[in-house]
Amino acid sequence: MSQISGTVVAITGASSGIGEATARLLAQRGCRVVLGARRADRLEGIAEQIRGEGGAAVTCVTDVVRAEDLRRLVNNAVTEFGQLDVLVNNAGISKIGPMSDVDVEGWSAMIDVNLRGVLHGIAAALPVFRRQGRGHLVTTVSTAGLKIVPNQAVYAATKNAVRTLLEGLRQESTDGVRRTTSISPGFVRTELDRSIDDAALGDQVRRNMDNFGIPPDAVARAIVFAIEQPHDIEIGDITIRPTLQN
């Protein structure tokens, strides 16, 4: 029996990549999972497979740019399973390109999803955590915020903004009610490249993913490690990347 069996975890961006892998691994460990993403058919297919293997999973169509969708995701966890122990803020997009392109629309989209989407999740989860007396926020950030490179300035800025707000929240949470964990993956074999509008940059990112990217379940294991810790222990930040990544 897993030590986190029965834990209720809601996950955004759960229809593929890191979110899907995390949902599957948590369900295998006995957690009850609430899957949130925009693709309803994909979500339900994953949930059906989890339930077919004896796990507990429900779905909730969620667009993180809509605060009401995050409230519904959290409410579904409480309604279906009686509580919410962990929220994994995982949804993200990458509209990378040179600043000289002045892609204001792409910049705004990354701010809406990567930063505002996390804030929406925090705002939805914190009241529940306070009522319960405990809760855990796990957020997917990126190594892009640790090593700044050309064409990723705004993307890195959104990730570092999230890193900053989580550290601020951590310092406000010494009552033990809210644990926070930032997960910073490097190249992972996901569908993130599909959100890149610049074809050449998208192809380059895809090649890097295919050539030396780590599988999503490697990141999922790091997330599970953080969740498994006793409630008086907080894993504040985990960086996980391919050994071949600069």
Give per-residue pLDDT as tens, 86-118.
Answer: 999 999 998 888 999 999 999 999 999 999 999
Pick the catalytic residue: 107, 129, 155, 187?
Answer: 155
Task: Provide the mean pLDDT of the chain.
Answer: 93
Q: What is the mean pLDDT of residues 60-85?
A: 98
pTM of the model: 0.93
* pLDDT tens sequence across 43-71: 999 999 999 999 999 999 999 999 999 99
- Which residues are bridge partners to 178 per DSSP? 135
- CA–CA distance, 141 with 156 (Å, rounded to integer): 9
Beta-bridge partner residues of 183: 140, 238
Give the pLDDT band of residue 208 (cuts 50, 70, 90): confident
Higher pLDDT, 203 or 8: 8
Helix (H) or strand (E) holding 86: strand 86-89
Q: What is the pLDDT of residues 16-33, one digit of tens each?
A: 999 999 999 999 999 999
| Spatial distance between the Cα atoms of 11 and 136, rounded to a whole number of angstroms | 12
Query: What single-letter DSSP state applies at residue 215?
Result: P
Q: Any catalytic annotation for residue 201?
A: no
Q: To which residue do tokens 């779905």 refer?
A: 59
- Domain segments of the chain: what residues? 8-240
User: Per CATH, is 8-240 categorized as 3.90.1570.10?
Assistant: no
Average pLDDT over residues 188-213: 79
What residues pair up with 60 in beta bridges, in sequence order?
36
Residue with tokens 């995982």: 90
Distance, CA of 83 to CA of 60 (rounded, Å): 16
**Cα 97 to Cα 37: distance, rounded to the nearest angstrom:** 25
**In the predicted structure, residue 139 carries a pLDDT above the cut 90:** yes
Q: What tokens appear for 38 in the block? A: 């925009």
Q: What is the structure's pLDDT at 1? A: 58
Parallel/antiparallel/unpaired status of strands 86-89 and 8-12: parallel
Alpha carbon distances (Å) from 14 to 17, 31, 37, 184, 197: 8, 15, 6, 17, 22
Q: Answer yes or no: is pLDDT of 222 > 80.
A: yes
Please tell me the predicted confidence (pLDDT) of residue 206.
78
Percentage of the chain lying above the pLDDT 90 cut:
78
Q: What are phi and psi of 81, to 5 degrees?
A: -125, 0
